[in-house]
């Protein structure tokens, strides 16, 4: 039997999926713009603001469903998880904006040694891979796909510390390059963390199990 709650859950799911599309787009634009030296701040800001607005919609919809229908445990698990995922998607937008702002304010990778842009591009590609896994596993409620994020998250963490170590020992870059690159690799590491949080939430939605993928 089709419940009244089901229609509300479908609407909530559609909102979260819409956030996922915007989140992937904002990070693709911001990371790509930073690596290529392109000012993408206007597009990134617009998408970031859309994500903030959608987060409010998700929260209002979720609280409305809880108040109106008093959902059972399995439905409540989905609703609570969606609220947490919406926050993580919003953080994608915030970090995307931070990356674009740093490029615009400090010049990004201008004056950097050749290895630095290559390193950040490689790290950015891994992070975007994690973002796509988090979104695709959510769309398909695929717990096994979500779990694959753990290995990449460890690789991103290792790259973060490798970068700091190498920068301290070898780099002779300009001050602006150093500041820009260190901030961005930190933002990338944090995006990876949020992708992992989403993957953990997907496993919880799909299986009811709370696990750590970090």
Confidence of residue 173 (pLDDT cuts 50, 70, 90): low
Report whether 138 contacts 202 (CB < 8 A).
yes
Q: What pLDDT sits at residue 112?
A: 87
- pLDDT tens for 132-164 read 999 999 999 999 999 999 999 999 999 999 999
Return the structure tokens found at 21.
């599309």
Confidence of residue 4 (pLDDT cuts 50, 70, 90): confident
Percent of all residues in the chain with a pLDDT value above 70, rounded to a whole number: 97
Residue 169 has pLDDT above 90, yes or no: no
Q: What pLDDT sits at residue 117?
A: 92
State mean pLDDT over 200-212: 95
Rounded CA-CA distance 51/94 in Å is 9
> Do the domain assignments include residue 138?
yes
What are the CA-CA distances from residue 18 to residues 37, 44, 57, 95 (Å)? 28, 16, 11, 18
> Do the domain assignments include residue 79?
yes
> Do the domain assignments include residue 153?
yes
State mean pLDDT over 18-41: 95
Q: What pLDDT sits at residue 2?
A: 67
Q: What pLDDT sits at residue 167?
A: 86
What are the CA-CA distances from residue 117 to residues 27, 28, 99, 108, 177 (Å)? 17, 16, 14, 10, 10
Rounded CA-CA distance 89/197 in Å is 10
Q: What pLDDT sits at residue 159?
A: 97
CATH of the domain at 125: 1.20.58.220
State mean pLDDT over 44-64: 97
Range of the domain at 158: 4-207
76 burial (CB, 10 Å; 0-12 / 13-18 / 19+) is: middle
DSSP, collapsed to helix, strand or coil, labels residue 19 as helix
Rounded CA-CA distance 204/209 in Å is 5
Residue 37 has pLDDT above 80, yes or no: yes
Return the closest-CA partner of residue 163 out of 139, 187, 179, 181.
Answer: 181
> Do the domain assignments include residue 213?
no
Q: What pLDDT sits at residue 168?
A: 82
Residue 1 has pLDDT above 80, yes or no: no
> Do the domain assignments include residue 150?
yes
The whole model's pTM is what? 0.92
Q: What pLDDT sits at residue 114?
A: 87
Report whether 92 contacts 26 (CB < 8 A).
yes
Placement of tokens 């702002």 in the chain = 101
The domain tally of the chain equals 1
Residues for the chain: how many in total? 214
> Do the domain assignments include residue 165?
yes
Confidence of residue 170 (pLDDT cuts 50, 70, 90): confident
> Do the domain assignments include residue 132?
yes
Q: What pLDDT sits at residue 171?
A: 66
Alpha helix (H) ranges present in the chain? Answer: 4-36, 41-69, 73-106, 115-140, 143-147, 149-170, 175-207
> Do the domain assignments include residue 113?
yes
């Amino acid at each position: 039997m089709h419940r009244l709650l089901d229609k509300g859950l479908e609407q909530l799911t559609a909102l979260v999926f819409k956030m996922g599309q915007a989140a992937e787009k904002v990070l693709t634009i911001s990371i790509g713009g930073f690596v290529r030296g392109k000012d993408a701040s206007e597009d990134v800001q617009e998408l970031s603001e859309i994500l903030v607005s959608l987060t409010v919609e998700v929260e209002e919809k979720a609280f409305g469903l809880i108040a109106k229908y008093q959902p059972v445990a399995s439905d409540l698990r989905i609703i609570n998880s969606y609220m947490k995922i919406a926050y993580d998607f919003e953080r994608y937008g915030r970090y995307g904006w931070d990356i674009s702002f740093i490029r615009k304010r400090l010049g990004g990778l201008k004056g950097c040694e050749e290895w630095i842009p290559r390193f950040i591009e490689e790290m950015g590609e891994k992070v975007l891979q994690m973002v796509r896994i988090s979104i695709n596993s959510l769309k398909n409620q695929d717990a096994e796909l979500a779990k694959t994020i753990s290995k990449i998250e460890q690789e991103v963490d290792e790259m973060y510390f490798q970068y700091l170590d190498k920068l301290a020992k070898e780099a002779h870059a300009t001050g602006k390059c150093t500041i820009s690159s260190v901030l961005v690799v930190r933002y990338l590491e944090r995006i990876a963390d949020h992708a992992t949080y989403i993957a953990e939430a997907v496993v919880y939605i799909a299986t009811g199990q709370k696990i750590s993928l970090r």
